[in-house]
Copies of this chain bind each other. A is one copy, B any other.
Amino acid sequence: MLYVIGLGLSDERDITVKGLDAVKSCERIYLEAYTSILMVDKEKLEAFYGKPVTVADREMVESESDTILANAQNVNVAFLVVGDPFGATTHTDLVIRAKELDIPVETIHNASIMNAIGACGLQLYNFGQTISMVWFTDTWRPDSWYPRVKENRDIGLHTLCLLDIKVKEQSMENMARGRLIYEPPRFMTVNTCLEQMLEVEEKRGENAYGPETLAIGCVRLGTATQLFVSGTMEQLVEEDFGEPLHSLVLIGRRMHVMEAEMVRGFCPEKYRAKFDEIYKRDYES
């Protein structure tokens, strides 16, 4: 049996009782660690499970799936995913390969950012499509997400923006010299995301949003230091949100008065007057 098990958002104790029982029945345990991260390290998980855990990077999952699935017709194997297995990223290829090998697959769900984001005060059913933001480089500044944000905004819906993560990157020099030395992991901040979004709006000028659009920085969601800060995009770009992981929500015009009350509660005093002005001017009540 292949168990694909969601770990939830924060630490080792966010696994479900069902998920933990499954892990304990497994001969091998893999942790997918390239699309998101847990707030605890592998050693903590191993101590909690009483079993060794193998970190599976993208290369392993994508090109060595048969190693992960070896003998899973006869023994239990766990593939652990931060959040929910069907969250922002799916592992369809692994599941399809398991089925080809006649390995039964069981999924154990958990919270992911796609539903826990409801804690920011906006109703989940008022969100439109979700976008992903990658780091711009000098030569690559992709904006294929822009029309999607515009579609959401045109019909008044909220937009969840998931921010890039880089793990196991090599520097150009190390790559050129063939040295398997990796850079420390990097996590995009709300600030970088906002800067890139404002740059693209300025360039395209289709008025999908602007410096005065209301937004919420959603930080370390589901952890003990979870933080929401609301304000305009140009206000939030100056804010210090601290440690990862960060996400951003652009608020849609069709914000219900009860949503507005909750979101206003996350607006620092210094931004409050502007928040109220923009809310009155641009948002429906």
Contacts and interface: CB of A to CB of B under 8 A. Distances in A.
A119 B18 CA distance: 18
B16 A116 contact: no
Interface stretch (A5-13, A50-58, A271-279): A5-13
Contacts of A88: 124-125
A111 B6 contact: yes
A86 B109 CA distance: 16
A215 interface: no
Contact of A111 (B110, B155, B162, B222): B110
Given A84-B111, A111-B84, A114-B115, A21 B16 contact: no
A277 to B, nearest CB: 25
Contacts of A84: 111, 115-116, 118
| Interface size band for A | 35 or more
B18 A17 contact: no
Interface stretch (A128-136, A183-191, A195-203, A241-249): A128-136
A30 interface: no
Contacts of A92: 258, 262
Contact of A132 (B18, B21, B116, B125): B125
Nearest to A12: B17
Interface in A48-88: 84-88
Interface string A1-29: 00000101101111111101100000000
A155 B13 CA distance: 40
B118 A129 contact: no
B13 A14 contact: no
18 contacts: A12-B17, A13-B18, A14-B18, A14-B109, A17-B20, A84-B118, A86-B118, A87-B115, A87-B118, A87-B124, A92-B258, A109-B115, A112-B115, A114-B114, A114-B124, A125-B129, A125-B162, A127-B129
A245 B86 CA distance: 20
B8 A13 contact: no
A16 B110 contact: yes
Contacts of A107: 119
Contacts of A285: none
